[in-house]
């Protein structure tokens, strides 16, 4: 953290003494006009309190002395009077501003947590918990923006407890609910997210209602509470009917979730009708094109479940992925690539092998980028199996390096089944040097304290 956030909370007297000395003034130059030099001394040595009235007198004398000495200095009676609590509040506000401005900085370059514990200790000492609430919120936002959803959830949970004692306004609470529901989705803490939002729904700001209900619907669907999700969609369509047109992206998303819910209830025709209607009626552009990828994937999955022919939709989706490289920058595409791989694999035709391999590698790359362990393990497992079947040593070596990279970055556990699988393969070929290489790598990681926090 930059020196601006060095934690140094002083008494009013200490601040006055430091100010006077920094300007080269004597105590007598702050006295006069109803305040004596002796009183200045007592204030500076914390033997007498600095009152609002005294701070005004000192300000007038200080500015007069500066003018006489030709010293240019700007301050105010309020600045001279600033209490310890006021200093903590100012520090907290500056820290929050810093977090806001730098929330997209990558963790390895981020200096914002160097004095974090000291700042929190000062806040606790002077009992300014409203400041703590805001700091924890923006720390959580930092982790959320940097895709560390587990840490984000931890800090948002602390904020959730503080809002009940710190009289947070509805706008702040609404933003908190949106954030908690988002990280709940990304950490599979679905029930916790719903419970928190249930407790606070009566405090929701109307501006955030669409985002909150949207996230609740997605979570209910993820929990398999399909009928509850459809009921929430009905509420959503009623409550947000007048404002939903202002949020076309959410409208598309809700339609997709509704179709997915119908599919879960085996109402495939109704689901397909919604997907096709979206494909035909939406004007696709750079802003919403990722939804087109989702719709195509859902059509493919529906026909995969019902035994229908989905090849033309696979071709459309592949063309879309090739023509819009920016799709790779969306986290959900990792799961989408997995579904596309499964769809190609299900066709069981040699002509699709290159496409199948292409999407498996996309799963690997995306899961590494977004630190999604589930899909990373899936991709590495499939790649290792394919390499073993082909007996292609170059492919095996490539997968081994990917596994090492994942271990180094904390995306796989040291006792991952993938490691045993790789060792077993080398053992079958009597390649003791490769086995030793793996064991040495793991020992080195363990000696270094395991792996990075992901």
User: Domain limits of the chain?
Assistant: 3-82, 387-454
Q: Using 50, 70 and 90 to split pLDDT, how confident is the model at 108? A: low
Average pLDDT, the chain: 91
**CA 282 to chain CA mean position, Å:** 30
pLDDT at position 248 is 85
Q: 357: exposed, middle or buried (C-beta count within 10 Å: 0-12, 13-18, 19+)?
A: middle
Instruction: Give 349-363 pLDDT, tens digit per residue.
Output: 999 999 999 999 999
**CA 169 to chain CA mean position, Å:** 23
Report helix, strand or coil for 75: coil
Is residue 451's pLDDT more than 50? no
Across residues 15-30, what is the average pLDDT? 94
Token pair listed for 260: 């997915």
Within 8 A by CB and 6+ apart from 335, the residues are: 372, 375
Across residues 69-73, what is the average pLDDT? 92
Under 8 Å between Cβ of 271 and 295: no
Is residue 140's pLDDT more than 90? yes
Is residue 76's pLDDT more than 90? yes
Token pair listed for 370: 């977004």
Burial 328-345, CB ≥16 within 10 A → b, else e: eeeeebbbbbbbbbbbbb
| Topology at the third CATH level for domain 3-82 | 434 Repressor (Amino-terminal Domain) (1.10.260)
Look-up of token digits 């390499």: 387
Under 8 Å between Cβ of 312 and 306: no
Lowest mean pLDDT among 44-53, 271-280, 335-344, 390-399: 390-399
- What is the percent of the chain where pLDDT is above 70? 96
Q: Using 50, 70 and 90 to split pLDDT, how confident is the model at 452? A: very low
Q: Using 50, 70 and 90 to split pLDDT, how confident is the model at 6? A: confident
Under 8 Å between Cβ of 135 and 123: yes
Q: Rounded to whole angstroms, how far apart are CA atoms 214 and 271?
A: 19
Q: Rounded to whole angstroms, how far apart are CA atoms 208 and 328?
A: 28
pTM for this predicted structure: 0.74
Token pair listed for 59: 């300000």
Nearest one of 119, 345, 281, 20 to 28, comparing CA atoms:
20
């Amino acid at each position: 953290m930059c020196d601006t956030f060095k934690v140094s909370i002083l008494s009013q007297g200490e601040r006055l003494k430091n100010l006077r000395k920094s300007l080269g003034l004597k105590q007598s130059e702050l006295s006069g006009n109803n305040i004596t030099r002796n009183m200045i001394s007592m204030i500076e040595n914390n033997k007498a309190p600095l009152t609002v009235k005294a701070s005004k007198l000192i300000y007038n004398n200080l500015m007069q002395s500066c003018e006489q000495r030709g010293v240019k200095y700007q301050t105010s009676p309020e600045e001279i009077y600033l209490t310890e609590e006021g200093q903590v509040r100012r520090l907290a506000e500056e820290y929050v501003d810093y977090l806001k401005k730098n929330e997209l900085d990558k963790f390895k370059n981020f200096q914002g947590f160097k004095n974090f514990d000291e700042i929190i200790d000062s806040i606790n000492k002077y009992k300014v918990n409203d400041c703590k609430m805001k700091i924890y919120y923006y720390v959580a936002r930092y982790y959320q923006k940097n895709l560390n959803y587990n840490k984000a959830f931890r800090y948002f949970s602390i904020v959730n407890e503080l809002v009940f004692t710190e009289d947070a306004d509805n706008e702040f609470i609404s933003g908190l609910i949106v954030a908690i529901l988002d990280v709940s989705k990304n950490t599979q803490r679905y029930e916790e997210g719903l419970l928190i939002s249930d407790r606070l729904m009566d405090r929701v700001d109307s501006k955030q209602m669409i985002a909150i209900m949207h996230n609740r619907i997605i979570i209910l669907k993820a929990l398999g509470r399909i009928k509850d999700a459809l009921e929430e969609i009905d509420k959503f369509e009623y409550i947000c009917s007048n404002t939903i047109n202002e949020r076309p992206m959410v409208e598309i998303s809700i339609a997709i979730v509704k179709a997915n819910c119908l599919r879960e209830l085996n109402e495939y025709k109704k689901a397909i009708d919604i997907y096709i209607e979206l494909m035909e009626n939406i004007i696709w552009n750079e802003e919403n094109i990722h939804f087109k990828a989702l719709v195509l994937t859902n059509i493919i999955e529906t026909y995969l479940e019902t035994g229908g022919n989905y090849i033309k939709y696979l071709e459309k989706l592949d063309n879309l992925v090739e023509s819009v490289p920016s799709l790779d920058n969306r986290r959900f595409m990792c799961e989408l690539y997995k579904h596309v791989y499964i769809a190609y694999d299900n066709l069981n035709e040699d002509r699709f092998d290159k496409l199948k391999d292409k999407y498996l590698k996309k799963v690997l790359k995306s899961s590494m980028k977004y630190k999604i362990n589930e899909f990373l393990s899936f991709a590495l497992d499939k790649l290792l199996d394919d390499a073993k079947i082909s007996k292609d040593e170059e492919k095996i070596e490539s997968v081994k390096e990917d596994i090492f990279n994942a271990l180094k970055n904390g995306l796989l556990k040291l006792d991952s089944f993938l490691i045993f699988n790789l060792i077993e393969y080398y053992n079958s070929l009597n390649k003791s040097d490769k086995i030793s290489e793996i064991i040495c790598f793991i020992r080195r990681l363990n000696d270094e304290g395991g792996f990075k926090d992901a």
